Amino acid sequence: MAQAAELFSGSVPEAYDRYMVPMLFEAYAEDMSQRVLARKPSSILETAAGTGVVTRVLSARVSPDVRYVATDISDAMIAHAQSRFANQDRVEWQRADALSLPFADASFDVVLCQFGAMFFPDRTAGFAEARRVLRPGGALIFSTWDSLATNDFAAVINDAAAAVFPDNPPQFFARTPHGYFDLDKIRGDVAKAGFTDITIDTIEKTSTAPSPRLPALALCGGTPLRGEVDARDPALFDELVDRASKAIEEKFGAGEVSGRMTAHIVTASG
């Protein structure tokens, strides 16, 4: 998971939180929080917490006596997430690899992970670690994006990146966030980790931004796509943002823009 820590370093955490979270992640954080609260847990472990969008929503709603541990592999993401919390005592923050959790067996009632499993180099191993630290009757709840074809802004950005770098197009979106969407594959990986009761809900929501340029900035600069662009030619970053912004405007309009986004929410126990 060291590569994931490097991907979400430098300027990415701030841009991610400023642009990506309101546009893509807040709506799913509400859904995730409701699913966790419905199980009435006494202890919660969040892996791949990122800049803490779910953490902020959920920690404000659980009882004060519920233990809430939030982890991420990236020190930069944890530092940024902590800076957003006024009550630092409400959540235990810890750097941790989701594939090698530093917690004893049967420590938590719920393990949750919003849009992090796609980055696991061995997803079954990550799910097995979650199962190890779950108490009997506990649940793993995680989300993963559906394909690029069902996520409008990401698809436009992916096409724009291919146009700017035709000889060596960046593949971040197709490879990672939108590369783990096959339901049979997901269900199989979770079952291999030892879970027997597995449900998957596919949830479509709307992503809204005040202008076409904001999704372009968010997805180009607030994700590891920025690193792929810089590795090819950092001087072309502004061209990519401009091209992506124009493409979004052509498809969704010049003012406030809205696009479809679709994700799978997985709940596993047993």
Q: Is the pLDDT of residue 11 over 90?
A: no
Can you say how many angstroms the Cα of residue 219 is from the centroid of all Cα atoms in its chain? 13
What are 180-220's pLDDT values in tens digits? 999 999 999 999 999 999 999 999 999 999 999 999 988 99
With contact defined as beta carbons under 8 Å apart, do 96 and 47 qualify?
yes
What are 58-70's pLDDT values in tens digits? 999 999 999 999 9
What are 132-189's pLDDT values in tens digits? 999 999 999 999 999 999 999 999 999 999 999 999 999 999 999 999 999 999 999 9
What band does 88 get if pLDDT is binned at 50, 70 and 90? Answer: low
What band does 3 get if pLDDT is binned at 50, 70 and 90? Answer: very low
Nearest to 128 by CA among 197, 209, 189: 189
CATH number of 256's domain: 3.40.50.150
By mean pLDDT, which of 102-106, 122-126, 223-227, 263-267 is the weakest? Answer: 223-227
The whole-model pTM stands at 0.91
Which residue type, as a one-letter code, is found at position 192? K
What are 135-146's pLDDT values in tens digits? 999 999 999 999
Two tokens at 38? 């419905």
E strand or H helix at 46: strand 43-46
pLDDT of residue 148: 97
Share of the chain above pLDDT 90, in %: 81
Two tokens at 44? 């919660």
Q: Which domain holds residue 38?
A: 2-269
State how many domains the chain has.
1
